[in-house]
Structure 1
């Protein structure tokens, strides 16, 4: 008769009826970036060394448990963080997101990795006996257990017997992979999960025996039915019956994570002594000799696979004898489950076919399902021993155990899906990506970056603005005050075009949200003259540096015109010191009055530039009304700005003026970000143009350094990462999004910027990204290929930057 193995547990240790103890740990999740073979090899190496070191213990229980993503719980946690003017609007959209994602993500899980170690009992020596001599009751309970007397509580003496071994197990595991001792609630979850597979999730509460409530029905060959009071499900256990001779690059504990259904893994590894391992290799050698004899008798040639196996066995035999390499006697069971037997049948079939492609044979035993169910319980003994496989530390390492696909944040708004696997799309990926704009600066455990700043890079039309606006609208729900610069003057127009009578009916909050924003439109009209004059909103040396930078850039001075440069410096300093209301126009007039003809000529040029067209924004006599940022969301847009083509230097006068305007605009944004009295988002569009000026590096560094306060996030939107791929800049950026690379050179630059492995696969991937696809490096340093995805129709309409094609695209695609 099969008996439930667990008598009781305390902290992270399970005690069985046979007076054995198993300690359980939750592993830190490991991630490997896209096409990162070097990082993958590093994980394989750590797993190999762990498998070798664990030979000091008798038995190891590896578990991969799929935990359903609780959309409601995550969104509730997010909603609790909403505050300010738009909190109610955020609640409205969070509820809509719940409704959509509940259906789309009903099979989405996150994989958690647990390791159980069978502990070695410390000998009951005199010292240990003496330490408990005052506790007769404790000793009495221990002696009763040795005599087979059952009980539920664990006495201190029993705990002490396994303490040293538990510490050794934790130290070993933590050294190679990183781990935490499981909490009792987690242990309860693991136990209860066995009895509610495919049903409502356990809450981790209740006594040991209440965790095992349920009726198991092994009556259908190849399946186990699980019945609870108000629910039922089916599961199938699929043990590994055959591994290939060489297991390199099989990823057999990882590749199924992209499936649209959960897969559980239970892997028990048993170690024996060196003599028994040598005996096992001798048994296998005898099989090879028998096969050789059969080949000779049948007059057949040697099989190349058998020859390869013979060579590997010879190497293994030497390593066991000379290096003490352990053999891992392993029992591996994959588990699929679902609401109906037919659903489980389909899932089991998919798993068996895909593993067959990996040359790994899974079987679905007809009569052993209940035994395999029992064997998956924590602390259980091996009762279905027909499926033992012999692995080496190297073949175990190829499992990639502990590797996950996680990217982004656990709690945040929905951003899209991880599509790093070949053939994945937003329609079929089961890996959701969430993003929280105000977490990175908290210095969370395991994070690589402590900066809230973000870069979004890529060419026009690939999805930069789409992603940015999604982050913008979600960001305001946290109460963040926003300044967004819009040199293209398109945000207000696109937002308000989305407000249609139909949208007002289906999304009543949207109109109020969009129309409440403070759209500040700057133009060449006289009323806006001087609004971006750096001398009117900056002070001291900061004002001086900004003014000199603008005037020198507009003057297009050569290196030999030092007399003019000096005059500009002196003119700016004079105006700042002598005038109560300084302005750039006053500096220009000072230059016009110079005795030096070259200086007067430059003064005349600057006067013509500064009193005509859009350049008037930068020039004033000091009597100017500043830009009011009184609302929570402020969008500063500039009309009729002739921007250079993406990535190109300014070649016309209008383009030079546009680039010059970016300098005081960056200063204005920096000034906004500097105030950390409230949570801030400072969004700087077309930042690539700053790098066309001599002060570009300095301005970007200043913007990022200023915003590193605990309450301010800076977003840099740019065409290329080239100018930002410098340690002093990229180390100040917490999250990086990179859209398509147009050239091989740009692909190589993105690879360096994101810290990816430089190989052909990554370069090709970056060049072949399509609209909405990007590579992200999150605050933890993890990288993945994702597809951005917006849930709400009115947002999609508002984010679209393409003009109405009057159905041309749809017509063309209809005939493809």
Structure 2
């Protein structure tokens, strides 16, 4: 049976977030931003519920309101287009970024279908037939409604005044004061139109701009859809070439104790969209139609049923006892002056087929039954629920089915206006929020498949101004966790993604493994003729391997070569004093005079380096200066110090390259905790460390207008010495003022704890730490409970806690599957498989 427009749309006109209905009532629609209430934050959830309770209590004078959780299509292409505006102008980076964006989009749609995110809306009547206290106004509205019906019967229609909305200006402002705690947003007229229109397009693909324009041209197009029945009880919507199956499932039963119900949170965990519609009414306090009157009549009905059972020899049924106690509880609450709500909660599913709709319905019912919530199929009421859930429809006394009666505080236990979101609105796709506490036992692909909650991240957003909702502007990022958890994979993934933007990137590689692995992949791809854009990107790197065995690296960190006089003198003095801490005044004077002379020679165009300084000192007539010069020259020959001291024959390390990777080899550093005397090789290591640190500071501070991203893997190397700690803190202090972002990788949050240092980390990706997992929870400000401990300990490979700049913390699974060829860049362990000679697995 096919029917069209079983009931005409009651919408007459739109203005901004106001909707005028044909009966004269006017509704204001507000979008409510998701509040921060992390999965594991009991305190945050209680705060959210308290806010909702307070706001709902302020809505009592309005009698009616509705809460809609609407799954809106997430425009992934738009996200990528906005991100592409920040790409580097060089084609090398644009070409690779476009390949990555295309693979992200393809992967998301193949695994998720149409991606979506939940938008929360609160709709309140500003003026309606139900709340008017002016009898003349009621009469006038009633007359207009009758008149409109008569005119329609004659094929005519009364035009509405274009300024109808002006008389609701003050009422809207008053309402918005009541909604302040929710940060309610007055939506534009286009969103108001779309929100009403998509009620007829559920489950279909649609062109947002076209649908809005269509309704703007004629409000009669709002309900343009064909409705038919499948298997008698399922609605099928169809429009042009699109069709979908829609099921309306009202909540029919709540647990006796609704404390910590958190129904909406459970719904959002499902890996398919569920629209939620709540129609709420504050019942009258007196009279036949009051809640007290209804309660007493329901009690009398139960008593009569019990008497009838006894007459027939049947005992009292359990449900009758439960219902009796529930009604008594409601009566006591009303008598105590507690404000109550009557509401209808309908959950709406869509699918491309009947089978898929039934499967989703069964999953929904099974999930909610586990928390004591019953959901009805309501086969005979699908059309009624379709129209009853329309925006602007309110509960009437005749609506007796599917109605729940509860206190305001109990109502708030549903946990409205919360979503498990983490990351940024615009950014690179990183993975998905993991909705469960249990372990996936290493199967990260199953974890990805179980979720549709996408995570995007642009770590460079932390330094941007006017980003609503941020709780910190700290630009620094930390990736922590045990070896083998996925830490290093994510660190390098973030590095590659963000190096494509208009920023300079510097990667300090303490194992000097990136160069070999990246160039190996580039060679293999080039031979196979695959992904030339990735090959060009890799070959654009400025690879610097600070290996003393390689003559090309001689003098790479020579302060005279890569620094001007003012900066170079400071670093050179620090380096020499590290080798010879107890210099006499004469020795220091002789060193500085030689250093100035060599800089003058360099400024005159001569090729000069630190070895020239030592040679000048060795020629000094002052014996102790001469001895020190000879000592420094000898130490600098055929040792790790070759990297820092030279004759200037090689070009120094470059601070202007777009992407620089500095690999470090054979660097020994003293342990701060060691009581042993520092060895010569450890002193030499400190000399190189100071030079690297100085280079890093210069890299991050040369141009304040330019964004710089500095990646330091295994940051514990710097924490192991007081000298390294000072260098790290100096780099961190560049921060916002100089547009520098520091991305560090380390095995423990203990390595990034700031202590007295206030330059901490605004973004954290915390993988599992076996030695002290509670320290992780404490660091990311999650209460240590048995539940949160399980949440953390059950993380499997590729999973971490993402703590973003908005203060949100969620467990997520990193998705490294979208571009396997690029993922091979991050491999650290080579393994053999049956199918291929050289297969790689990123274990860290």
- The TM-score with structure 2 as length reference comes to 0.83
- 1:795 lines up with 2:822 in the alignment: yes
Is the contact made by 1:647 and 1:719 (CA closer than 8 Å) also made in structure 2? no
Match of 1:466 in 2: 489
Match of 1:278 in 2: 292
Change (3 A) 1:393 1:567: farther
Query: What is the CA–CA distance in structure 1 between the aligned matches of 2:328 and 2:577, rounded to whole Å?
Result: 76
Change (3 A) 1:62 1:635: same
Match of 1:52 in 2: 57
- 1:699 lines up with 2:708 in the alignment: no
Deviation at 1:432, TM superposition (A): 1.4
Query: What is the CA–CA distance in structure 2 between the aligned matches of 1:27 and 1:278, rounded to whole Å?
Result: 32
Match of 1:452 in 2: 475
Match of 1:426 in 2: 448
- 1:720 lines up with 2:748 in the alignment: yes
Match of 2:265 in 1: 254
Query: What is the CA–CA distance in structure 1 between the aligned matches of 2:740 and 2:667, rounded to whole Å?
Result: 28
Is the contact made by 2:112 and 2:452 (CA closer than 8 Å) also made in structure 1? yes
Match of 1:668 in 2: 695
- 1:517 lines up with 2:541 in the alignment: yes
Question: Secondary structure at 2:661's aligned position in 1?
Answer: strand
Residue 715 of structure 2 is aligned with which of 671, 674, 687?
687
Query: What is the CA–CA distance in structure 1 between the aligned matches of 2:284 and 2:787, rounded to whole Å?
Result: 44
Change (3 A) 1:546 1:300: farther
Match of 2:520 in 1: 497
Change (3 A) 1:719 1:387: same
Match of 2:663 in 1: 637
Query: What is the CA–CA distance in structure 2 between the aligned matches of 1:124 and 1:252, rounded to whole Å?
Result: 36
Is the contact made by 1:63 and 1:267 (CA closer than 8 Å) also made in structure 2? yes
Question: Secondary structure at 1:439's aligned position in 2?
Answer: helix
Match of 1:753 in 2: 779
Is the contact made by 1:265 and 1:333 (CA closer than 8 Å) also made in structure 2? yes
Is the contact made by 1:666 and 1:684 (CA closer than 8 Å) also made in structure 2? no
Match of 2:82 in 1: 77
Is the contact made by 1:29 and 1:113 (CA closer than 8 Å) also made in structure 2? yes
Residue 120 of structure 2 is aligned with which of 96, 101, 113?
113
Q: Once the two structures are superposed, what CA deviation does each residue of 1:32-90 show, in whole Å capped at 9, x if it has no partner?
A: 22421111121122222222222121101110111122333322333343232221222
Question: Secondary structure at 1:358's aligned position in 2?
Answer: coil
Query: What is the CA–CA distance in structure 2 between the aligned matches of 1:200 and 1:20, rounded to whole Å?
Result: 31
Is the contact made by 1:32 and 1:403 (CA closer than 8 Å) also made in structure 2? yes
- 1:212 lines up with 2:223 in the alignment: yes
Is the contact made by 1:530 and 1:619 (CA closer than 8 Å) also made in structure 2? yes
Query: What is the CA–CA distance in structure 2 between the aligned matches of 1:68 and 1:605, rounded to whole Å?
Result: 71
- 1:397 lines up with 2:439 in the alignment: no
- 1:617 lines up with 2:643 in the alignment: yes
Is the contact made by 1:741 and 1:766 (CA closer than 8 Å) also made in structure 2? no
Query: What is the CA–CA distance in structure 1 between the aligned matches of 2:259 and 2:723, rounded to whole Å?
Result: 52
Residue 422 of structure 2 is aligned with which of 403, 407, 419?
407
- 1:739 lines up with 2:767 in the alignment: yes
Question: Secondary structure at 2:529's aligned position in 1?
Answer: helix
Question: Secondary structure at 1:699's aligned position in 2?
Answer: helix
Deviation at 1:446, TM superposition (A): 1.1
Question: Secondary structure at 2:451's aligned position in 1?
Answer: coil
Question: Secondary structure at 1:404's aligned position in 2?
Answer: coil
Query: What is the CA–CA distance in structure 2 between the aligned matches of 1:761 and 1:214, rounded to whole Å?
Result: 48
Question: Secondary structure at 1:198's aligned position in 2?
Answer: coil
Match of 2:197 in 1: 192
> Aligned ranges for residues 452-601 of structure 1 at < 5 Å?
452-499=475-522, 500=524, 504-525=528-549, 527-534=552-559, 537-538=562-563, 546=571, 550=575, 580=599, 586=613
Residue 39 of structure 1 is aligned with which of 44, 59, 73?
44
Residue 383 of structure 2 is aligned with which of 350, 364, 370?
370
Change (3 A) 1:97 1:422: same
Structure 1 window deviating more from structure 2 (629-638 vs 250-259): it is 629-638
Q: Once the two structures are superposed, what CA deviation does each residue of 1:465-500 show, in whole Å capped at 9, x if it has no partner?
A: 211222222223223222212121100111122232
Is the contact made by 2:282 and 2:341 (CA closer than 8 Å) also made in structure 1? yes
Match of 2:73 in 1: 68
Is the contact made by 1:674 and 1:706 (CA closer than 8 Å) also made in structure 2? yes
Q: Once the two structures are superposed, what CA deviation does each residue of 1:149-207 show, in whole Å capped at 9, x if it has no partner?
A: 65453453x434433332232222232x2210111111111111111111113513322
Structure 1 window deviating more from structure 2 (59-68 vs 102-111): it is 102-111
Deviation at 1:406, TM superposition (A): 1.5
Structure 1 window deviating more from structure 2 (521-530 vs 408-417): it is 521-530
Match of 2:841 in 1: none
Match of 1:134 in 2: none
Structure 1 window deviating more from structure 2 (116-125 vs 214-223): it is 116-125
Is the contact made by 1:105 and 1:430 (CA closer than 8 Å) also made in structure 2? yes
Q: Once the two structures are superposed, what CA deviation does each residue of 1:384-422 show, in whole Å capped at 9, x if it has no partner?
A: 541111121122111111111221122222111111423
Question: Secondary structure at 1:380's aligned position in 2?
Answer: coil
- 1:91 lines up with 2:98 in the alignment: yes
Is the contact made by 1:495 and 1:514 (CA closer than 8 Å) also made in structure 2? yes
Is the contact made by 2:254 and 2:374 (CA closer than 8 Å) also made in structure 1? yes
Q: Once the two structures are superposed, what CA deviation does each residue of 1:117-156 show, in whole Å capped at 9, x if it has no partner?
A: 012469899xx99xxxxxxxxxx99985685465453453
Is the contact made by 2:10 and 2:21 (CA closer than 8 Å) also made in structure 1? yes
Is the contact made by 1:584 and 1:620 (CA closer than 8 Å) also made in structure 2? yes
Change (3 A) 1:7 1:763: same
Query: What is the CA–CA distance in structure 2 between the aligned matches of 1:727 and 1:295, rounded to whole Å?
Result: 72
Match of 1:233 in 2: 244
Question: Secondary structure at 2:258's aligned position in 1?
Answer: coil
Query: What is the CA–CA distance in structure 2 between the aligned matches of 1:572 and 1:184, rounded to whole Å?
Result: 74
CA RMSD of aligned residues (A): 4.1
Query: What is the CA–CA distance in structure 1 between the aligned matches of 2:339 and 2:31, rounded to whole Å?
Result: 24
Deviation at 1:726, TM superposition (A): 2.3
Deviation at 1:513, TM superposition (A): 1.7
- 1:320 lines up with 2:334 in the alignment: yes
Is the contact made by 2:561 and 2:651 (CA closer than 8 Å) also made in structure 1? no
Match of 1:628 in 2: 654
Change (3 A) 1:644 1:395: farther
Question: Secondary structure at 1:425's aligned position in 2?
Answer: helix
Query: What is the CA–CA distance in structure 2 between the aligned matches of 1:306 and 1:245, rounded to whole Å?
Result: 14
Is the contact made by 2:752 and 2:760 (CA closer than 8 Å) also made in structure 1? no
Deviation at 1:210, TM superposition (A): 1.4
Is the contact made by 2:526 and 2:535 (CA closer than 8 Å) also made in structure 1? no
Deviation at 1:743, TM superposition (A): 1.5
Change (3 A) 1:225 1:655: farther
Question: Secondary structure at 1:209's aligned position in 2?
Answer: helix
Is the contact made by 1:583 and 1:621 (CA closer than 8 Å) also made in structure 2? yes
Match of 1:132 in 2: none
Deviation at 1:645, TM superposition (A): 10
Change (3 A) 1:757 1:230: same
Structure 1 window deviating more from structure 2 (617-626 vs 735-744): it is 617-626
Change (3 A) 1:92 1:354: closer
Query: What is the CA–CA distance in structure 1 between the aligned matches of 2:791 and 2:437, rounded to whole Å?
Result: 11
Structure 1 window deviating more from structure 2 (489-498 vs 375-384): it is 375-384
Structure 1 window deviating more from structure 2 (213-222 vs 356-365): it is 213-222
For structure 2, the residue ranges without an aligned partner over 5 or more in a row are 1-5, 152-156, 439-445, 603-607, 838-844
